[in-house]
């Protein structure tokens, strides 16, 4: 089957190498498309591969499969649409395109008898989407949670070792883990796109990524890790979605959170990812591995390519390519088709959990009493008060941990507390996840 690659960056080069070195007998790389393609040419590519900046040149050759690795939404979405309308199947690692346009593209793929696969769009080299579909299809999954953004994980891991936020971010950028503009990673918007895909795939509950409530990790300081350690926790950016909100509703959010050292969510560092799912019958299952990097993502992309040609399927082996396309495109069990065919769900951020709240104040009598009164008015109970000695009175940090409460009541209480005049900076509010979520 003839394969064309759109985008020859880090992942695109790794995909090409894997195809040529391991799978050239089943998949023939015919075209590489890239802007300014002359600067991308490599001497290890076979001479028959066509390098081009003209997308029409690729589509006129009628590739069987298009691999989109350009990133972003604009041109990439157009390329995927044109490919599917031409009857070519598409493999992509583009989380933004799938999160925002998955329903449209899934319908387009079915209409034209093609496949749309996107394993590499979530958690890089971890085959979480296929594992959920193929390994957990007998269960009813009710919750999915994960640490799925390598930039935030690297920063928080370094802060856990005592680095400042600014230093950890600068290091992440120098290592290539963070973009020059890392705002999507820090605010949780990158994780929200991945969560939207996970919700559709694992829970059969498609949600709009822009409806997912996100909060930034930028308020976290090294002192928060000291207090978290005393609570047998660390801090990670956690994305989760839950069906407990009822039919056609999903509780979903991305938050920096305290996670218990016992939780799989606490174990990731650097560019690692972890995704956990909760089933009605099977309980919790965790998927862990490298969440970023060219080689790890290339494995996911090429595995999708092999699935399209039917490798590993006794039913599909020996069928002509066109028959394999049609058989799998009609199969409603395929993860790449099933999740986004369900009706769109509304999203709520309302959830209940214990919470950690750090205050930084100019010390004076009555502060704790005033804070406690505000929490009491919202029927929120204080679990403990933690304060380390040795801090200056004009910038004194202390922590309150709260019993289980819903976020809406907590937000009202914190808004009232934040209006008081003893704050040096706004309170830092983090949920505490003792298990998964």
Distance CA 284, CA 406 (A): 23
In order of 232, 412, 433, the CA distances from 402 in angstroms are 16, 14, 12
pLDDT band at 186 (very low <50, low <70, confident <90, very high): very high
> Would you call 127 helix, strand, or coil by DSSP?
coil
How does pLDDT run across 407-430, given as a tens digit for each residue?
999 999 999 999 999 999 999 999
Determine the length of the chain. Answer: 437
- The H or E element spanning position 417 is helix 407-418
Domain 128-292 has CATH 3.30.360.10: yes
Q: For position 293, what pLDDT does the model report?
A: 72
Q: What is the CA radius of gyration of the chain?
A: 24
Q: For position 135, what pLDDT does the model report?
A: 84
pLDDT, average across residues 147-154? 92
Indicate whether 47 pLDDT > 70: yes
* Domain topology for 2-123+294-340: Rossmann fold (3.40.50)
Which of 78-92, 340-354, 369-383, 420-434 shows the lowest per-residue confidence on average (mean pLDDT)?
A: 340-354
Domain boundary assignment for the chain: 2-123+294-340, 128-292, 352-433
* Contact in structure between 117 and 285 (CB atoms under 8 Å): no
pLDDT band at 71 (very low <50, low <70, confident <90, very high): confident
Residues recognised as catalytic: 194
pLDDT band at 435 (very low <50, low <70, confident <90, very high): low
Task: Give me the percent of the chain exceeding a pLDDT of 70.
Answer: 93
CATH class belonging to 352-433 = alpha beta
Q: For position 336, what pLDDT does the model report?
A: 46
Strands 423-433 and 89-92 turn out to be unpaired
């Amino acid at each position: 089957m003839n394969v064309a690659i759109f985008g020859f960056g880090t992942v695109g080069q790794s995909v090409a190498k894997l195809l040529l070195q391991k799978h050239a007998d089943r998949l023939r790389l015919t075209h590489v498309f890239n802007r300014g393609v002359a600067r991308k040419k490599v001497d290890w590519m076979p001479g028959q591969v066509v390098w081009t900046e003209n997308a029409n040149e690729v589509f006129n050759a009628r590739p069987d499969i298009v691999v989109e690795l350009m990133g972003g939404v604009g041109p990439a979405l157009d390329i995927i649409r044109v490919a599917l309308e031409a009857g070519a199947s598409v493999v992509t690692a583009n989380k933004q395109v799938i999160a925002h346009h998955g329903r449209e593209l899934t319908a387009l793929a079915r209409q034209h008898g093609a496949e749309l696969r996107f394993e590499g769009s979530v958690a890089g080299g971890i085959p979480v989407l296929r594992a959920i579909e193929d390994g957990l299809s007998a269960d009813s999954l009710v919750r999915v949670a994960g640490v799925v953004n390598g930039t935030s994980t690297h920063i928080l891991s370094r802060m856990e070792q005592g680095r400042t936020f600014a230093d950890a971010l600068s290091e992440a950028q120098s290592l290539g883990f963070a973009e020059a503009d890392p705002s999507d990673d820090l605010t949780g918007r990158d994780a929200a796109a991945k969560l939207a895909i996970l919700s559709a795939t694992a829970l059969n509950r498609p949600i709009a990524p822009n409806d997912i409530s996100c909060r930034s990790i930028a308020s976290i300081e090294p002192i928060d890790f000291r207090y978290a350690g005393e609570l047998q926790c660390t801090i990670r950016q956690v994305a989760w979605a839950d069906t407990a909100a009822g039919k056609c509703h999903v509780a979903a959010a991305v938050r920096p959170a305290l996670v218990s050292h016992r939780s799989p969510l606490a174990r990731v560092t650097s560019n690692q990812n972890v995704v956990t799912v909760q089933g009605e019958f099977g309980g919790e299952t965790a998927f862990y591995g490298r969440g970023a990097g060219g080689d790890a993502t290339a494995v996911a992309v090429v595995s999708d390519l092999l699935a399209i040609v039917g490798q590993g399927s006794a039913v599909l082996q020996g069928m002509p390519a066109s028959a394999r396309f049609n058989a799998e495109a009609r199969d409603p069990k395929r993860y790449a088709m099933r999740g986004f065919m369900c009706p769109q769900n509304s999203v709520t951020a309302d959830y209940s959990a214990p919470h950690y709240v750090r205050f930084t104040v100019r010390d004076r009598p009555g502060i704790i009493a005033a804070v406690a009164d505000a929490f009491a008015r919202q029927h929120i109970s204080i679990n403990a008060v933690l304060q380390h000695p040795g801090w200056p009175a004009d910038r004194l940090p202390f922590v309150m941990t709260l019993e289980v409460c819903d976020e809406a009541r907590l937000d009202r209480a914190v808004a009232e507390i934040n209006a008081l005049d003893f704050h040096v900076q706004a309170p830092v509010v983090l949920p505490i996840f003792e298990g998964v979520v």
